[in-house]
Amino acid sequence: CSFIHSPKGFPKLKNDTFLRAARGEETEHTPVWCMRQAGRYLPEFRETRAAQDFFATCRSPKLCCELTLQPLRRFPLDAAIIFSDILVVPQALGMEVVMVPGKGPTFTEPLKEVEDLLKLRQKVDVTAELGYVFQAITLTRHSLEGRVPLIGFSGAPWTLMSYMIEGGGSTTMAKAKSWLYCHPEASHRLLRLLADVIIDYLVGQVAAGAQALQLFESHAGHLGPEQFEDYALPYIRDIAQAVKSKLKEEALPLVPMIIFAKDAHYALRDLASAGYEVVGLDWTIRPQEARAQTGRDVTLQGNLDPCALYAPKEKIGELVKKMLEGFGTQRYIANLGHGLYPDMNPEHVGAFVEAVHAHSRHINKH
């Protein structure tokens, strides 16, 4: 198991455009990748996953590696993101999650009472509980042969907490939010427990070979500014700070970190100073407005409406050009404002990726 802690001998990186943009260095073209780029919109993904339970797939390093590589065989993407799921962290805390067809991830016993927190593992050995993710990262980093950098990720504490209490997806997050209002102290206890596991998990991903990290605060939009400031932002800040200091302590690479807080434009200024090199944006904000709020010291990532990929290819090109003009081609990573949907046409994903490269090169030349 020693290789997990000292991943030496990885292939030399051939395309570092994504990492340069994340660090704010100049790039010839704007790098591009897609959230959920390894997904059901690819027929080869559906074939690979067909016979498998979803979380069994997540626990197979070989399958995770294969699924991570599939989109790179089709498209000239500038980064790979490891195939996994944010709910592996609640699983590491001892909760059972199953994938229910047509419904999505479902917790067999969600947290109902404050006393339920005692059922959670209070100390998590991430290598024992999540070592399969580390193995998938190491295997994939080797299999990429240096083509592009590999991104690791985790869900953020509030987003994970909301799943653990709701028991699955929810349109209102009313059960989880009622904890914030009725049990503030217990909420902070749970968020702290999650943050501590996430910190170790992200550091472990870098030790295993991840070259960048993204934190998904996917349910930020259910909170207002005050709740976000109390229950989300402190943990988001703390994770960046703690991960960086642990990477230094363990003499591991200081990889760029991305925060993606969906629907949280009210918090963009705070997110820009939360200790992340990159701030991810959903599609509900204008590029110029996002730049104005975040300043020049962070890279922005996003934010094409995923549904734009249903448009004809020429239209996708026009929308990409407009987006690039809005953000500028530097200190910018092109992406969608959320993940790809299962019914999307892979050719349109290709059109998006190619339009980003072509238009950004053109803008840079002129």
What percentage of the chain has pLDDT greater than the value 70?
Answer: 98
Q: Which of 36, 147, 291, 331 is catalytic?
A: 36
Is 40 a residue of the active site? yes
132 is catalytic: no
Pick the catalytic residue: 85, 116, 230, 305?
85
| Mean pLDDT of all residues belonging to the chain | 96
Residue 136 pLDDT greater than 60, yes or no: yes
CA dist., res. 269 & res. 290, Å (int): 9
Share of the chain above pLDDT 90, in %: 95
Q: Does pLDDT of 282 surpass 50?
A: yes
Does residue 49 have an active-site annotation? Answer: yes
Of 259, 272, 284, 274, the residue nearest 336 (C-alpha): 284
Confidence of residue 8 (pLDDT cuts 50, 70, 90): low
Which among 158, 91, 96 has a CA at the least distance from the CA of 130?
Answer: 91
This model's pTM is above 0.95: yes
Q: φ, ψ for residue 299 (rounded to 5)?
A: -90, 145
**What is the average per-residue pLDDT within 301-305?**
98
- 168 three-class SS: coil
Q: Is the pLDDT of residue 52 over 90?
A: no
Residue ranges per structural domain of the chain: 18-307+330-342
Q: What residue ranges in the chain does DSSP mark as E strands?
A: 80-81, 97-100, 104-107, 150-155, 212-217, 257-261, 278-280, 299-304, 332-336
For residue 7, name the pLDDT band (cuts at 50, 70, 90). low
| Choice among 163, 201, 235, 332 that is catalytic | 163
Say whether 263 is catalytic.
Answer: no
pLDDT in tens, 73-128: 999 999 999 999 999 999 999 999 999 988 999 999 999 999 999 999 999 999 99
Task: Assess whether pLDDT exceeds 70 at residue 1.
Answer: no
CATH number for region 18-307+330-342: 3.20.20.210
**Annotation marks residue 36 as catalytic:** yes
Q: Which of 23, 40, 237, 361 is catalytic?
A: 40
**pLDDT for 234:** 98
**Confidence check: pLDDT of 6 > 50:** no
Determine the average pLDDT of the residues in 287-298: 97
| Active-site residue (options: 16, 20, 41, 49) | 49
